[in-house]
Every structure is written in structure tokens, then in C-alpha cells.
Structure 1
Amino acid sequence: MADTIKGRGSRQYLPGRFETTTVEAADDGWAPLAEPEAGPDPSRPRTEVHEESARSIVTRNRSPDVGFSQSVNPYRGCEHGCSYCFARPSHAYLNLSPGLDFETKIFAKTNAPELLRREFARPGYRPSPIALGINTDAYQPVERRLELTRRLVEVMLECRHPFSLVTKNALVERDLDLLQPLAALGLVHVYFSVTTLDPQLSARLEPRAAAPHARLRAMRRLHDAGVPVGVLFAPAIPWVNDHELEAVLEAARGAGAASAGYVLLRLPHEVAPLFRDWLEAHMPERAARVMAAVRQMRGGRDYESGFGARMRGRGPYADLLERRFALARRRAGYPAQSLAALDCSRFVPPLAAPAQRELF
């Protein structure tokens, strides 16, 4: 097995579940293997950004486990490289590896803002809050250059459309000039995913995400600017970061968070072998214990996909984690009521939307 790769969450090109063949070079003894051509160091794979034109941009779901019915994802793949990312298996649909390909081959939907505006202009469109970047982080590093998320937020502001977003990147601060007027109209919530307060553990779990202190600083700055903020302790991983639950909720509350939630580690499809490999690379002494605890909460398997259980798990550990969260939330002083509901009544279709300057 390859050594760990600096700045990457995975260390292998695990084939996707739809692959019918895999290729591996082997020396059959008849002739020496061809010398590889000079090129990029394979131990340090570079990020490739591929621009694509999407056919649609709004995804709809009826899952009872999530608090939204519409989502928008401007990117496929995520350079943050979180070893546990539940979205990794989606790269298998592209005939790419959910391992290193997921975090090094990023697909940008360059026409996303135009598609969103077109969706809002449909005569039969009825607004409901949109979750922005819920599958992969809308503020991942490539956003600094492409600004697709910023342009989507501009459409939200133009049309007075409510939305929420979850991010691990302090880059969200860049768009305060848009988020502030949206917040004044009750149209936006921003959640920060904080998995740990330990920068060394964060650098291994989520190598290209913002450091924990940077996320908390960004949370404080958004809060001070009047933007409602919350925290997600996600994922909770037994014997890895679960002991930090109370500390994360307290630190986030101190940074202005008015809402808190948590999600148990999810290991669908190729994520399970990838995460087991991560454990063997970074925490070999506790790898077996971690996976034993995971299976205890998943009915003896690596993962259960059923509604209700997939986010929280079941069994004694899952019950204990739920009780710990409820107690930590109360002790940290979170309001009894979560963030105020987003306002859908202000929506104006694009062609009739007033100019942004009229907000001021």
C-alpha cells in the first residue's frame, strides 16, 4: 500500500463499483517494464478542474432525514479531501475513482447561475429553501478562482430566494457583501461543519479544508455582521473525534452559533474501504476498535442506508451520543428554538426582480 499523500485524504485510486475491468502493470519476465515518461510526480497528484455544462441544477428529494427539499451543487468532487465524505461514491458514475480522483478531478458546472435563474423564471416555480453545496462544499478551493458559488448567491439575492449552506471553508467570508443583505431579509442561514478543534487531526481527516480556528473565526465574523450561523459536528466518529462533541459545541456557541446539530459517520459503498484504509494509515492502533463501534451502530454492517437510522445509528453508543449532544447543547446555552424559518414570501421571479441597490 502506498504511503500517505500530503494534502490528500485518500492514498489510492480505488476502482468504482461500476468498473468492469481494472488495469495493473506487471512484470511477466519476458521484457522489462517500459520506463515511465517524465511527468508529474505520481505521489503528488495535481488537482484538475474540468468545466462542464449541466442540463439542470436544482436537485429535489423527499428524504425525511434532511431539512430541505431542494439543493444546488455547483461542483462535483471536492478538493477538501475529507476521508469520510459520503459523496465520494458519486464519482463512480463518472467512471472515476471515489478515492484520489474524487479529490483531484473536480467538475465545475459553469452554467449553474444561468440554470438557476432559468429555474426561478419558470411560470410554475414555487420557492422553498435551497441547500447550497450540500453534496460537495460550494466554497472548496477552486471557488476562489471560478466564483460559481458567488454568482449563485447573487441570483438568490436578485430573486429574494431563501437558502442555507454548509461549509468547511473560511472563504465564505468573501461573500459577506451579499450574505448581509440576504440575512437582513431573513433569506439565509450559514452552517459550519466543525469535526474537531485539533488542527493536527483536522489536517489528516480533511486535509484541504480550513483549519478549525479559521472556521470559528469566520463564524464569528458572519455572526457579528448579522448573518445567522450554526454548527454541525459532522461526522461523529467513535474513538476518533467523538470525545470532542461537547468542546466543539461550546466553542461554536462562543463564536456566535445559534443552532447545532450532529451526524454519525456514514460509510456508503466505496467510502467504507477508503475510510478503513485511512484508519490503517493514520490510526492503526485503534482501527479495529473504531470499525467495531461503527458496526455496532449499523446492525453489524459498515453502513445502514435506511431513513431514520442512517444519520443517527442505533444501539447503546448511538443512544449515548444523542443524550450527550442534547446535554451539551443545553449546557452551552443554545436557544431552545433553532434559527428562525427562512422567508419564502419575498421571492420575485428574475425578470421582475428589483435592482440590488434598492435594498440599501
Structure 2
Amino acid sequence: MGKVLMKGNEVIAEAAVHAGCKYFFGYPITPQSELVAYMARRLPEVGGLFLQAESEIAAINMVYGAAGTGVRVMTSSSSPGFSLKQEGISYLVGAELPAVICNIVRGGPGLGNIQPAQSDYFQVTKGGGHGDYNLPVLAPASLQEIVELTQDAFDIADKYRTPVILMGDGMLGQMMEPVEFNERTAAELPKKDWATTGTRGDGGPKIITSLELDAESLEKRNWNLQEKFSHIKEHEVRYETYLIDDADIIIVAFGTVARIAMNAIKQARREGIKVGLIRPISLWPFPEKPFLETRDNVKAYISVEMSAGQMIEDVRLAVNGHAPVDFFGRTGGVVPTQEEIYEKLIAVSGGVLV
């Protein structure tokens, strides 16, 4: 196919199609509406089905129904709409149904605005809905990485029978970059002998539900889920590092903020300040390993976010008191600049490199 110039939201949609997704249920909300519009045009071309639901709540429950039949299915939204999906997401987890849910984050709380933000971090990494659960969360930083992580999201969902969140900020959804897609064939999709596809020749009827009225039976189901989450934590951690081997200060950032921070790091390096970067790609499970490997030698970490400070809690847990953890953030849809991050680096270095 070669490289094509596309907008981020459309890249997500096309990558999903290449991953074998033929079913999409959604509702338009800025700044991810292009994703919905693209799916409306694209899915009929590949023999799939697009349906604009009457609400975000309806959309996630349609995803539940489609996932129960074993097909690859997806929905998307932006922050307020994603909040409305939380009950349905909890049902998907309880019923162990695979699906991919995209959240292109905007400023909040409430209706907020349509500018980019990362302030849904708590919601996606700490469960979001009711009950004891976690969701794998992938956070791309470029449009080519969107291609790879969208396809990975479907694979992880099928492998563990769980919903997977693909999260980006509004800037990532709206920017344009050249991308290249990888073909995936139907033969590579896993067999789903648990799916409700009828009773002929597949071992009889199947029941998919998250309802378990007996307390001890529900507890057993919960411990089985926790075992699954532990397996995901062991095998599905993703991160990238940059110049951390000799770093005195390490910035921690994800998504497009990491790209801005990278330029500030290069600027600081030219001034002789040894700065590195840890970029979590999986927000859950959070990458603890690079912190374990650096925290005894690093003089400070700085969590840089488009929020009032959310990922910093996971950074502090990973550092576990071995070094100070500072914070720089912009919120409400304001994007931090390279110069602001650089100035924060200078301020921190003045306190720890004396």
C-alpha cells in the first residue's frame, strides 16, 4: 500500500479495519468525530457494519452484543462520552468479552472544551467503572505507532478476553502524518469456541453474562479475573526510554507530550544537563522496570502531563521514595511547550545538581 498522509482519527479507523474489525458502534463527539465518519464510509466497503447509536450508552451495549458473537468490534468516544460508557465497560470485563475502545481525550471536567488533554488517566488506569478490574491501556505518541498499537489492542483483547483502551489526546487525533499499514489476514485471528454463534456443531448452547448472584461464586470469578490481570501485568508492559543510562534527571511523559519533552531534553543536553526520558506506552500495566533500573542513580524525576497531576502517582509508586518526583502540567486543554518544560528542567536541576 505504501505510505499515505492521513489524520490521526482516520488512522485509528483504518488500522482497525486492517486488524480485522468489521463492526463499529459509536456516537460522534469532538475531537474524535472523524473516526466515526471514516468508519461509516469504510466498513461497508469491506463487508462490515457501521451503526451510529442513539447514545454512547447504547453504543457500548451494542459492542457487548457483537463481542459475544466472537467478531472483532470497536467503539470510540471522547472524554464525556467515554464516561457514559463505563457501566458497559464493566459489563464487558465481567463477561470476559474482547473489544477495543478508543478515547481521544479533551479538556474537562464536565463538558470542558474540545482541546487536547490527558486528564482521563485516572479513569482509564484505575478501572473507571464499578467492581475490581483493570484494563490494558495503550497510549501512542505518533500516527505510525497508532497503526501498530491499534492492531496490538485487538490482539491483546482476543488473547485475554478483555476490553482494551486505546487512548490519545485531541492533538493526536487531529494531526496528520505519513503512515504505512500492515495487512492482517482472517487466518491469523484466534478461534473463539466460547462465542455465541448458535448450537449446531460447536458443543451446545453457551451463556455469556457478568451476573453471579452467589457471593462465593462471584468471589471465585473475581480471583480468576485478578489472575488474568496479573498475567497481563507480567507480559504486556510497553515503554520506550531515551538517554537514561547516564541521566541525572528523567522526564516521564506519554503520548504527544513525550514528543514535546524530547525536544526539551535535547535542548538541555546541549547545555550539559544530563536528562533522559521514560515514555510509558502501556499506561496500564504501568512500566515499573525502567524506574527500578534507574531510581538509585537518578537525582530527580519529573512527571510532565496535560493534566493537574495524575500519572505522577504511578511514577511515585515506581520510584518508591528512592528519589524526589517533581511535576509539571498544563490542564484544561492547554498544551505544554518545549520552553516551559525546559525551564522546569532548569529549575529542578538547580535544586538537585548542586
Regarding TM over 0.5, the answer is no
Normalised by the length of structure 1, the TM-score is 0.29
Structure with bigger helix share is 2
Structure with bigger strand share is 2
